[in-house]
């Protein structure tokens, strides 16, 4: 045997093993993404009462007729457009101001803004909305009581499109802030300085220079945030459903959770088609914008240097803005939920009420046998969904980045497709899949905790693969070739080379998924059946729906405190690592 054959044979054998493995990954991802979407589309034409009765003879356009010839649908469309546009405009405006303050000015205490704004991600949108109900409900709202009885104005009605826009806008700020900071940091200030030297006023410079340079990136962020607002269920569910103000996500939920008749699955699917089309178009626009980002490069090169604008007399208003955002987004909602968890019953805070504070609701909570089941289910969901997403994302990215597999580009697109599918729509798609699977194979997936884990894994695959692709590209392929030439099997190459080098990425993806599966309620609400399959987000929703506000306060306080501690530890760890590497 020649020397060349000795060297190449291990690589060829590894290539054969890889080919089988690559086909397996492709088949799994294609089935997990295409099959639910196929059922979603097919179900929109089905006139059967239940997904298990899906029959080609019962296909028609009745569901589309019932949905799209219903005037209420156009009201839902209008509400959704106003809600999404208002939330994005409000959230992006605050995020731009905060990012500009920390990156382009001499504002003091920037490190606390860098840490504090992302820290608000630990406040789940559902709990944030519930806290604002306690503050601005027309009947029991604490702030409304002060406005009406103390100042003789109001009340402010949080059960409105304005209330939904306000809470969702606040919820969008931290992600938009994290996306805006790199844009300001990389922008060459020489163009702004030239405008100032020419006599342009700061407002004119910001409008004609700064915003135009930021426009491509800003539009991309706005599209991404619009997709986020479009799919969210928690805020419009808490604030819109009681007032019968429907957006697409809550309308679909109300259709499949009808208490008087069988759920109209077909109509929900037909409505989801338009919902899905909007999300796909928005995702395509977002991908197109970021793919052409090099056309809008604004860093000048060797002459680039950061320049800080002195705030002068505006320093105090800037600090007030930051403090107001922190108060409205985290501090006030957390204190309200904490107060609700400590009082015997909900009433306006007074000295008499404060003297009745106790921990009875926490004791009742931990004595409830259901809480143990819920915490166990939540732990299982977190561990399984986070681990499965991390592992599957790595496998997909290895095929996409490291192989010459014929379907690697299609696989990458399939992995990204769930990002364009709102969670509640994905939940409906999996309802059809699990019901048909249970019917044909005798399994018990529908309504179980495992159904939620599977759905979350597929939904978060898009994020996982984006992170893994970037990490794998940084590892030179010579390391793999050397391992193959040495006769190392594929699994040993992954364990000895990729695992140590990619450990930070694995941990980052795992933690990101963990934080999101705990916060999201829309998909679990669609998929779970029975109290024994509840997770924490579902329990909070059900307790709130039942009027057990004090219990929600206790659960919410513990949940927010835990998530905040974890998020703060991660942020401080990140700053520490950054300082060491610098």
Reading the chain (582 residues) residue by residue, the pLDDT tens digits are 454 444 445 544 444 455 787 888 899 999 988 888 888 888 788 776 666 566 666 777 888 888 888 888 889 999 999 999 999 999 999 998 898 888 877 888 887 787 778 777 778 888 999 999 999 988 888 888 888 877 777 788 999 999 999 999 999 998 888 778 877 776 666 666 676 667 666 667 666 677 777 777 788 788 878 888 888 888 999 999 999 999 988 888 888 776 555 667 777 788 888 777 877 777 677 666 655 544 444 444 444 555 677 777 888 888 898 899 989 988 899 999 999 999 998 888 888 888 888 899 898 888 888 888 999 999 999 999 999 999 999 889 888 887 788 888 888 888 888 876 777 778 888 888 888 888 888 888 888 999 999 999 998 888 888 788 777 776 666 556 555 666 656 666 666 667 677 777 788 788 888 888 888 888 898 888 888 889 999 999 988 988 888 999 999 999 888 887 776 676 555 444 444 433
* Distance between CA atoms of residues 271 and 273, nearest Å: 5
Determine the distance from the C-alpha atom of residue 125 to the mean position of all C-alpha atoms in its chain, rounded to a whole number.
10
* Distance between CA atoms of residues 126 and 303, nearest Å: 47
Residue 196 confidence (pLDDT): 66
| 417 closest CA partner among 455, 385, 458, 473 | 458
* Distance between CA atoms of residues 43 and 40, nearest Å: 5
The token pair that represents 258 in the structure block: 């009808």
* Distance between CA atoms of residues 36 and 526, nearest Å: 14
Residue 55 confidence (pLDDT): 63
Kindly report the pTM of this predicted structure.
0.80
C-alpha triplet 416, 291, 406: angle, nearest 5°: 50
């Amino acid at each position: 045997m020649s020397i060349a054959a000795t060297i190449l044979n291990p690589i060829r054998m590894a290539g054969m093993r890889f080919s089988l493995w690559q086909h397996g990954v492709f088949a799994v991802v294609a089935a997990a993404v295409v099959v639910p979407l196929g059922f979603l589309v097919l179900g929109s034409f089905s006139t059967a009462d239940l997904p298990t009765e899906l029959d080609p003879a019962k296909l028609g356009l009745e569901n589309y007729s019932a949905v799209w010839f219903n005037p209420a649908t156009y009201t839902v469309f209008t509400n959704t457009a106003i809600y999404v546009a208002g939330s994005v405009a409000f959230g992006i405006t605050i995020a731009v101001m905060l990012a500009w303050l920390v990156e382009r000015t001499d504002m003091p205490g920037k490190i606390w803004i860098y840490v504090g704004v992302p820290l608000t991600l630990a406040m789940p949108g559902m709990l944030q909305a519930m806290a604002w109900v306690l503050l601005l409900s027309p009947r029991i709202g604490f702030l409304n009581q002060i406005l009406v009885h103390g100042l003789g104005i109001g009340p402010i009605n949080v059960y409105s499109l304005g209330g939904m826009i306000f809470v969702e806008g606040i919820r969008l700020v931290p992600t938009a802030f994290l996306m805006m900071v790199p844009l300001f940091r990389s922008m060459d200030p020489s163009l702004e300085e030239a405008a100032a030297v020419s006599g342009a006023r700061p407002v004119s410079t910001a409008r004609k220079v700064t915003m135009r340079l930021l426009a491509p990136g800003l539009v991309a962020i706005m599209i991404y945030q619009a997709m986020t607002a479009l799919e969210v269920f928690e805020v419009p569910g808490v604030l819109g459903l009681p007032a019968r103000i429907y957006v697409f996500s809550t309308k679909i939920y109300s259709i499949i959770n009808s208490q008087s008749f069988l759920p109209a699955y077909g109509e929900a699917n037909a409505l989801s088609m338009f919902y899905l089309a909007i999300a796909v178009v928005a995702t395509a626009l977002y991908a197109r914008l970021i793919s052409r980002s090099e056309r809008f490069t604004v860093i000048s090169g060797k002459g680039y240097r950061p320049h800080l604008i002195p705030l002068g007399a505006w320093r105090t208003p800037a600090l007030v803005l930051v403090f107001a955002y922190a108060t409205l987004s985290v501090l006030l909602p957390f204190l309200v939920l904490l107060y609700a968890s400590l009082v015997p019953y909900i009433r306006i805070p007074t000295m008499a009420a404060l003297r009745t504070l106790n921990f009875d609701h926490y004791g009742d909570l931990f004595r409830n046998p259901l809480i143990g089941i819920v915490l166990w289910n939540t732990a299982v969901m977190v561990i399984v969904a986070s681990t499965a997403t991390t592992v599957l994302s790595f496998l997909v990215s290895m095929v996409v980045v490291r192989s010459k597999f014929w379907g690697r580009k299609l696989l990458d697109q399939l992995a990204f497709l769930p990002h364009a599918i709102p969670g509640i729509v994905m939940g409906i798609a999996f309802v059809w899949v699990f019901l048909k699977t249970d019917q044909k194979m005798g399994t018990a997936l529908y309504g179980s905790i495992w159904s939620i884990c599977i759905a979350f894994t597929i939904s978060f695959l898009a994020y996982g693969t984006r992170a893994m692709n970037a990490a794998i590209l940084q590892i030179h392929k010579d390391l793999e070739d050397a391992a193959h030439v040495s006769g190392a099997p594929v699994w040993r190459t992954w364990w000895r080379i990729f695992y140590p080098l990619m450990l930070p990425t694995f941990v980052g993806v795992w933690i990101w998924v963990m934080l999101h599966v705990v916060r999201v309620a829309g998909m679990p609400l669609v998929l779970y059946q029975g109290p024994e399959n509840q997770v924490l987000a579902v329990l909070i929703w059900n307790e709130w729906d039942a009027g057990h506000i004090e219990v929600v306060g206790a659960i919410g306080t513990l949940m927010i405190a835990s998530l905040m501690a974890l998020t703060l530890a991660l942020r401080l760890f990140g700053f520490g690592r950054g300082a060491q590497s610098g």
